[in-house]
DNA sequence: CACGACTCCTTGAGGAACTCAAGTAGTGTC
DNA sequence: GACACTACTTGAGTTCCTCAAGGAGTCGTG
């Protein structure tokens, strides 16, 4: 349909496929599922409460409950009730969780391995293109 | 760890995240799961027999059995025994399956939407970079 | 031909991820 | 204090996925 663009479409598909597979392997090597690794990663960024995590991971709140329950059982995160609003539970990563997260990062060879093939200039090029692709959507919503 | 590369790492992560989410939405809009859409897509490329599909999808043969069973129940694919080797079953996509596959392609707005922001020259640049990243692994194995 | 080794697929059991519906506990408002 | 509302949990149910085991078919070798 897109004519000459098909080759690029295929390349992006392959890229994402490889990336996902590499991440899954890395997580599994550290004893986690990809979803668990994602949650652990989200914790080091913005999300803190269960609800925020659900928003960030684009999934149901009850799914987060289960993920956190399993991670908590493994001692990687802990639930901390919010003193100001006792409905809210903050999730915080434990030292063990931080260690495992770093292990995932180390095992995730995609960036280091593949990206290492590019020159500094090419990386800048790629970064520029990504910035353009990732810019917030400007299409009408609601 | 990688110094200035961290920003690019994050961009790629976000890119893949967006891509995956968009594909999942597209599949779901057509009444499929992402895994089912993947299988349907793999069918139009190389894979034909159950085993080949398992190889292509990087998963267990028994998983393919289940996926195909569900897709077959929906009339999107059909199993055809190989006359030369009766252990083998080829999977072929039905007209209905082809229709659904096209619907997924149409609903998958990521390439058209995001990639449309790039100029032809930028797309060529991106394609070149992807080619470099996707080239077969040259690291020693076994 | 018959036996054994091997391949292809399926079945069964079980875990993890996910969703939806319903429920519990806490907050805020009038 | 009753009401609506929010945050999380629980329960039921589906799909994806894997591993172990089994049935059926193929092929080489004596």
- pLDDT higher for B141 or B75? B75
Q: What is the pLDDT of residues B37-82, one digit of tens each?
A: 999 999 988 768 999 999 999 999 999 999 999 999 999 999 999 9
**Could you check: is the Cβ of residue B86 within 7 Å of any atom of nucleic acid strand D?**
yes
Compute φ and ψ for A91, nearest 5 degrees. Answer: -110, 125
Which residues 7-26 in chain B have a CB closer than 7 A to strand C?
A: none
How far apart, in whole angstroms, are the C-alpha atoms of residue A10 and residue A121?
24
- Identify the residue among B10, B11, B118 best suited for mutation to test binding to A, counting A beta carbons within 10 A and taking the highest: B11
Q: Is A8 on the interface with B (CB under 8 A)?
A: yes
Task: Give the distance, in angstroms, between residue B129 CA and nucleotide D24 C1'.
Answer: 48
Q: Which of B46, B118, B78, B66 is nearest to A125 (CA)?
A: B118
Please give the residue that has the higher pLDDT: either A135 or B63.
B63
B142 confidence band (pLDDT: 50, 70, 90): very low
* B69 CB neighbours strand D below 7 A: no
- pLDDT tens digits for A54-96? 999 999 999 999 999 999 999 999 999 999 999 999 999 999 9
**A45 part of contact set with chain B, CB < 8 Å:** no
Least confident of A41-55, A65-79, B126-140: B126-140
List A78's β-bridge partners, or say none: A92
pLDDT for A5 equals 53
Q: Does B2 touch chain A (CB under 8 A)?
A: yes
Protein B56 CA to nucleic acid C16 C1', in Å? 23
Share the mean pLDDT of chain A. 91
**Integer Cα distance of B13 and A34 in angstroms:** 13
Please count the CA atoms within 13 angstroms of the CA of A26 that sit on its side-chain side: 23
- Lookup: tokens for B119: 């100029």
Are B134 and A11 a contacting pair at CB < 8 A? yes
Supply the pLDDT for residue B138: 63
**Given a cut of 60, is residue B27 above it in pLDDT?**
yes
B14: enclosing H helix or E strand: helix B6-29
Banded pLDDT at A139 (limits 50, 70, 90): low
Cβ contact B1–A105 (<8 Å):
yes
Q: What percent of chain B has pLDDT over 70?
A: 92
Q: How far is B61 from chain A (nearest CA, A)?
A: 18
Which range among A62-66, B87-91, B106-110 shows the weakest confidence by mean pLDDT?
B106-110
Choose the weakest-confidence range: A70-74, B8-12, B24-28, B134-138: B134-138
Q: Which residue is nearest to nucleotide D11 (CA to C1')?
A: A62
């Amino acid at each position: 349909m897109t004519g000459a663009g098909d080759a690029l479409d295929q390349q992006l598909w392959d890229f994402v496929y490889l990336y996902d597979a590499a991440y899954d392997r890395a997580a599994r090597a550290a004893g986690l599922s990809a979803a668990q690794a994602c949650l652990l990663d989200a914790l080091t960024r913005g999300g803190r409460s269960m609800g925020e995590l659900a928003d960030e991971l684009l999934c149901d709140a009850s799914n987060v409950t289960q993920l956190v329950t399993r991670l908590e059982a493994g001692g990687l995160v802990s639930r901390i009730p919010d003193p100001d609003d006792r409905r809210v539970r903050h999730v915080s990563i434990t030292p063990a969780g931080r260690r495992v997260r770093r292990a995932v990062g180390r095992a995730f060879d995609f960036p280091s391995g593949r990206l290492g093939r590019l020159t500094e200039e090419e990386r800048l090029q790629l970064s520029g293109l990504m910035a353009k692709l990732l810019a917030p959507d400007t299409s009408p919503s609601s």
